[in-house]
Amino acid sequence: MKPMRMSQNPLRIVESACPKCFHRLDAVDSVGEGGECIPPLPGDFTICIACFSVLRFDDNMHLLLSSLSEVPIEHRALLAYIKMTVEEAAQAWNAKGGRPWASH
């Protein structure tokens, strides 16, 4: 059971480790408008739930370290919002004590 979901339909992806913190990421949440389920494609951006790094899928759907400045301007605000949402969820989770955020 993951501690938080941003959508009702997390998509399973080929497991790939975050290049920064090596947290294994094996699911992504839809960031499409209207809550539709959009599988990630090469070149898409995502956020590591463990270290909040901006990541990008390469042509083989492996994760590369990226940054907000690489995100197309029309998607940057959305990704920044998601990053902030994940960070706040992690802070709220950790403030409760017990099992640390994203530890498994």
Judged by CB under 5 A, does residue 76 bind Zn ion? no
Judged by CB under 5 A, does residue 77 bind Zn ion? no
Structure tokens at 41: 């494609």
Separation of CA 24 from chain center: 11
Judged by CB under 5 A, does residue 47 bind Zn ion? no
The least distance separating Zn ion from the CB of residue 36, rounded to whole angstroms, comes to 26
Judged by CB under 5 A, does residue 23 bind Zn ion? yes
> CB under 5 A: which stretch of 16-24, 29-37, 57-65, 73-81 binds Zn ion?
16-24
**Alpha carbons within 13 A on the beta-carbon side of 68:** 10
Residues 6+ apart with CB under 8 A from 80: 68
> CB under 5 A: which stretch of 5-13, 19-27, 28-36, 90-98 binds Zn ion?
19-27
Of 28, 47, 48, 102, the one binding Zn ion (CB under 5 A) is 48
Q: What CA–CA distance (Å, rounded) separates 64 from 42?
A: 11
